[in-house]
Structure 1
Amino acid sequence: MISHKLYKLYFTLLVLITTLTCVKGQEHPPGNKTWGDQDNGTYRNPVLPADYSDLDCIRVGGDYYAISSTMQFSPGMVVLHSKDLVNWEIISHVVGDLVRISPNLNWDRMNCYGKGIWAGSVRYYKNKFWVYFGTPDDGFFMSTATNPAGPWEPVQQLWKVSGWDDCCSFCDDDGQLYFIATRFETDPKNNKKYNIHLFKMTPDGKGLIMESDSIIHQSDGSEANKLYKINGLYYHYFSEVKPEGRVMMMERSKSLYGPWEIKQLNHVDQKLDKEPNQGGLLQLPSGEWYFFTHHGTGDWEGRAASLLPVQWINGWPIVGEVGADTIGRMVWKGVKPISYKRKLTIQTSDEFNTNKLNVQWEWNYQPRSDKWSLTERKGFLRLYSFMPTELNNEKSMILKAGNTLTQRSMRTSSNMATVIIDISHMADGQFAGLTHFSTTSASLLGVRQENGIRHLIYEVNGKDSLGTRINGRYIWLRSTWDANGVNRYAFSIDGKHYQPLADIYQLTWGSYRGDRIGVFNFNIKEEKGYVDIDWFRYNFEQ
């Protein structure tokens, strides 16, 4: 039998050949890629065609840093880095332990879909990076770091409260710290009210001075708060619901307590633009301004990220292409703002050759630390089995099963993810493999063992199909999908010949999250059995 290390070499050569073939015959020649850097000095939106929602972004020197909400995934609040605002890499997460936020985010509860870590802000002042964020049920939290790549200080609760969101910190010229956030509530007539509050903070930034509370804005759906001070004026950015959809708004004043002038910054077409709104305003060293934003209306890939130019008109930062009414509109392509030779990219593949998970990975909920390991077998990720919190979930047990390790599914013209799993130590009742899932739909391709016999299983939304018997030690599982989110699975028992499944599966989104690709392992009978994952390789259009 050929060793699995030879399989690794074979697969590497196969991927290289496939990549060269795809480049030669690609549908979109250089300069006409459907997203991101066009390799000719221009870019297309989105620059990140995946679930990077609730963005904020800052510049520190010649580097750009962004944060993105992660809901129930762990580690939480992903941190991104760029040198040109078009090409990005993942460098860290702010929250290592979600249980510090709520026990409901732990593996033994798993009942916070659509909740968990919502939008926040990242700022740099007093020689540190400061991240503040909220959850709808648990209040506001914060952390700091001297290096955005970590380590981040253990997250601390700023205020235990419910019914608030979309916060931002601000350091004024005199060093006074401020905190802004939205309270959303329902009045006796069941109408939603959104009040934006401003607080002073304690000098260490770890507490609010409650008696300083002041409402600075009130309207329908006012969220996405950011505070800036530009040329001596205070600017309060937020989004607001209008008849055309959720639009970007700005108000300005000589004082943080008003009076405020107000201006709409953009128009939206909900079908075409997907409502760009949450984001960060940036000035480049050249003096140019940009806005890095997510699209608030999500599709199967989630809420993707775009880069929009900003023009200052009469002292207002207008986002996108400025119309005759001095309000901006969505821009889908442009000249790259910065030329940078080395091209950063979102990490995907992992050989599991280190003692720490690579930064692209996020568990579904806080994992059991004793049920996975990168050290027990060098060069492998070991996942031990344990029972889901529920055994009869009507959608899929994957939503209630721990030890599901995920990353974002990209919306590009071609995607291929392949994993090789050593299944020789499985136990009866155990099911392990490759998955796509959101809260609205899930598909799983893997191996399940019963009575000492292993079979290939394909499951969609809790309904499974029994496949071929698997006798070998290793199984190769593959998922391919296109820009429409149409997925097709395949498997191999020798790492050379892949047999595609007849069925196709439509990727979906739910609970404010896009589709996730990942590996899973659980046992519906007992806490027994494990699998070893040799590698996970995910290649997408670049």
Structure 2
Amino acid sequence: MVLLGASPVAVAQQKQTFQNPILPGFYPDPSICRVGEDYYLISSTFAYFPGVPIFHSKDLVNWKQIGNILNRPEQLNLDGHDVSRGIFAPTISYKDGTFYMVTTLIDKGGNFVVRATNPAGPWSTPHWLPNVNGIDPSLFHDENGKSYIIYNSDAPDNKPQYDGHRTIRMYEFDVKTMKTIGAQHLLVNGGVDISKKPVWIEGPHIYKEKDFYYLMAAEGGTSVNHSEVILRSKSATGPYVPYEKNPILTQRHLPATRPNPVSATGHADLVQTQNGDWWAVFLATRPYDGAGDHYNTGRETFLAPVTWKDNWPIINPDHDLVQYSYPVPNLPAQKKPAFPLSGNFTYREDFKEGTLPMYWLQLRTPRSQWYSLRNPKGKLTLDVRPERFSKKDNPSFIARRQQHVTGSASTQLEFIPQKENEFAGLVAFHNSEHYYALGKTMKGNEPVVQLLDADKKVLAHKALSKKESKNPLFLKIEFNGGAYAFYYATQKGKWQLLKDKVDGEYLSTRVAGGFVGVVLGLYATSNGQPSTNKATFDWFDYTGNDSVFETSTKGQKAYNTTN
């Protein structure tokens, strides 16, 4: 992997401030824990495999992915899942030398816990929790030795008073047997004030601070009305009394037309540093058109300071707007990782490593080995298989997140299609009903470069000469908010525009729905028919350059890294 690092200007700035989001792109539902001077953060992955990336940091700002918690098929069955189903809202905790991750596998088993002594793995196979009926579970380990599992569940007696009426419930949990203990406790009914019909109370966490237990949860749904609320009690099992000035975090009261909006803030988690300071991680979105609420990067992970007032925590206390930059936490300075995760950056994946770097994603659980980095060595070769996006299976598709509003992805393809049904190329993918595929195929007996949408509508195509068809084909997708452009080249660097100003809102969450963001990846399919063909990709380039981040490129240097 070869990449360009941040500019000296950006490095100097980051000595005093850091940039939000700390994990841009599709990294929703963050959960964090501290062990000594080490911080660990995880996020949701829905129907992508491997599941639940885990990151490490010592300064809360510079994060390095150290693994994927659910990286074996026996841990994670995503067969048949829609893209926005699968893994919901994992949380991470630590107790007596062991890490715990608890989450929900929607549609296939419900809630489960895995554990590990090394956060980089390996993690155990799932311990299922049949009594925990709901979503968004988290574990709280009390200082008296007891542990509890808290989660979102149905309305009392499964009789909701209104649409979105949910509850927060709790069981005591035995970390040795990995089972619940005793009776269920109802902690919150509806939300902080059920008379106002609050919706979708979810993502609960409990913290102990001084004499109180604090129950924090999201409320209002995970769109523009998202918020974070807080309640407290003298006992872990309640009763919990809400803070009279809730919510403690939201952006829903702000004008949608504000410049560079941060929206949909919520689903937060708190962490106290070894120096006694408090910080919050939470999801938020970055709409590129204000009131239109269109964003393609999904729900991203932000970081903001927390202060305590009258024994209540307040997130982002000194601002109405969530900031793109805050003073860095009072923690030992950490070297910026060679592989960038935030700010503006450019990198090349050259496939020279023996395994795929851990940030690459597949759609659903792989049941066979259909890609190679060794045949030929130093390139990515995909089997041209019948699986395709329109079916809920595991296609020959390897992707990474789109992390910027503005940027590009490009690749070099070696592929000789044999029939019209064979296709290989570069894809901007949101879900099975919303994607653009740019690649090489046949039209009759003629090789062509072609742009398709999810309905298989041909948006543009260009015939390739006999000579061109035998040479490598270069493909590029440029994105700028709600506009995408698609390019090809038959000679390196000599890009030709295939189609400009393609509707990017079609790939946005507002239009496509669900909980994920756009991923950009490499794809090969024979569209339901048998094939023995292969497609080879020499490299994959990604560039992200958002105006809210430092944009200087002077003095950049190349890094050689391994992940």
TM-score, scaled to structure 1: 0.83
Q: Secondary structure at the match of 1:119?
A: strand
User: What's the counterpart of residue 3 of structure 1?
Assistant: none
Cα shift at 1:278: 1.2
- Of residues 142, 154, 157 in structure 1, which corresponds to 2:128? 157
The answer to whether the aligner puts 1:41 opposite 2:12 as a matched pair is no
Give distance in 1, aligned partners of 2:278 and 2:249. Answer: 19
Cα shift at 1:356: 1.8
Give per-residue Cα distances to partners, 1:170-196, cap 9 Å, x unaligned: 222233221110113563776342111
The answer to whether the aligner puts 1:530 opposite 2:527 as a matched pair is no
Q: Pairwise mapping of residues 478-517 of structure 1 onto structure 2 (< 5 A)?
A: 478-482=476-480, 484-505=481-502, 506=504, 507-509=507-509, 510-517=513-520
Q: Pairwise mapping of residues 34-433 of structure 1 onto structure 2 (< 5 A)?
A: 38-97=13-72, 100-102=75-77, 105-106=78-79, 109=80, 111-137=81-107, 138-159=109-130, 164-184=134-154, 187=159, 191-204=163-176, 206-209=178-181, 211-219=182-190, 220=198, 221-241=200-220, 245-263=225-243, 264-270=246-252, 271=256, 272-295=261-284, 299-322=295-318, 330-337=322-329, 338=331, 340-344=333-337, 345-346=340-341, 349-388=348-387, 397=390, 402-413=395-406, 415-424=407-416, 429-433=421-425
Matched-pair contact (CA < 8 Å) for 1:371–1:383 = yes
Give per-residue Cα distances to partners, 1:409-468, cap 9 Å, x unaligned: 01254x232212221476652101001011352111101146665321111232113312
Give distance in 2, aligned partners of 1:527 and 1:190. Answer: 52
User: What's the counterpart of residue 437 of structure 1?
Assistant: 429
| Runs (5+) with no aligned partner, structure 1 | 1-7, 24-28, 390-395
Q: Secondary structure at the match of 1:132?
A: strand
| Runs (5+) with no aligned partner, structure 2 | 191-197, 286-292, 551-563
Q: Secondary structure at the match of 2:374?
A: coil
Matched-pair contact (CA < 8 Å) for 2:228–2:268 = no
Cα shift at 1:121: 0.8
How many aligned positions are there? 498
Give per-residue Cα distances to partners, 1:221-258, cap 9 Å, x unaligned: 21111122222432211122399933211122221122
Aligned-residue CA RMSD in angstroms?
3.1
Give distance in 2, aligned partners of 1:95 and 1:522. Answer: 26
Give distance in 1, aligned partners of 2:60 and 2:494. Answer: 41
Q: Pairwise mapping of residues 14-33 of structure 1 onto structure 2 (< 5 A)?
A: 30=9
Cα shift at 1:37: 9.1
- Label 1:144 to 1:298 Cα distance change in 2 as closer, same or farther (>3 A): farther
Amino acid in the other structure paired with 1:463: K
Give distance in 1, aligned partners of 2:239 and 2:161. Answer: 30
Q: Structure 1 segments of 4 or more deviating over 6 A?
A: 398-401
Give distance in 1, aligned partners of 2:391 and 2:422. Answer: 13
Cα shift at 1:39: 3.1
Question: Larger RCO: Structure 1 or Structure 2 (Cα < 8 Å, ≥ 6 residues apart)?
Answer: 2
Amino acid in the other structure paired with 2:165: K
Q: Which moved more, 1:342-351 or 1:81-90?
A: 342-351
Matched-pair contact (CA < 8 Å) for 1:244–1:267 = no
> In percent, how many aligned pairs have the same letter?
24
Cα shift at 1:300: 1.2
Q: Pairwise mapping of residues 447-462 of structure 1 onto structure 2 (< 5 A)?
A: 447-449=440-442, 453-461=446-454, 462=456
Cα shift at 1:265: 4.4
